[in-house]
Amino acid sequence: MSGEKRFRTSFFGFKKSDVNTYIEKMLREFDDKLKEKDDDIASLKNQQRELRIKYEDLAKKTDQINEDRAKIADVLIKAQEKGQLIIEDARMQAIEEKKKLEEMIEQEKEKLVDIKQELKVLKAEVVNTLRKYEEQLSGIVEEETGDL
């Protein structure tokens, strides 16, 4: 224990009061050390409890973060797929629109050719009509000059 203790001697051995005092002192020291150890254990238990609570909080946050990451990844994948579908749909619509426009252009070209044909015919008719009027006017002019 705390060094070697020498007791005073008495008639039948050691002096009883010295032994009792020593034992009481040893008991107090032991009780003090035991109380100190109990306090240390209580403190460590409190620290352990606090650390467990922090660990559980962090575990919950980690689970939530992982869950959120999974949700975000799903949303991004769905958005990417939807974007690709939209792009493909727009591409198909553009192709259809281009075909329609090409058909309209072809129809307009055909109309233009028809109009040019009609213009040629009308021009020929106008030229013929003008020639007839010119001939008639020439005939009228000759008649009037001959009448004079």
Distance of CA 39 to the CA centre of its chain: 53
CB 5 within 8 A of CB 22: yes
State pLDDT tens for residues 28-58: 999 999 999 999 999 999 999 999 999 999 9
Determine which helix (DSSP H) or strand (DSSP E) holds 13, and give its type and residue range: strand 13-14
Residue 147 has a pLDDT of: 67
Tokens at 65, concatenated: 């973060």
Residue 52 has a pLDDT of: 97
Residue 91 has a pLDDT of: 97
Residue 15 has a pLDDT of: 78
* Bridge partners for 9 per DSSP: 14
Is residue 17 scored above 60 in pLDDT?
yes
Residue 146: pLDDT band by 50, 70, 90 thresholds?
confident
Averaged pLDDT for residues 70-93: 96
Q: What is the DSSP letter of 9?
A: E
Higher pLDDT residue, 15 or 26? 26
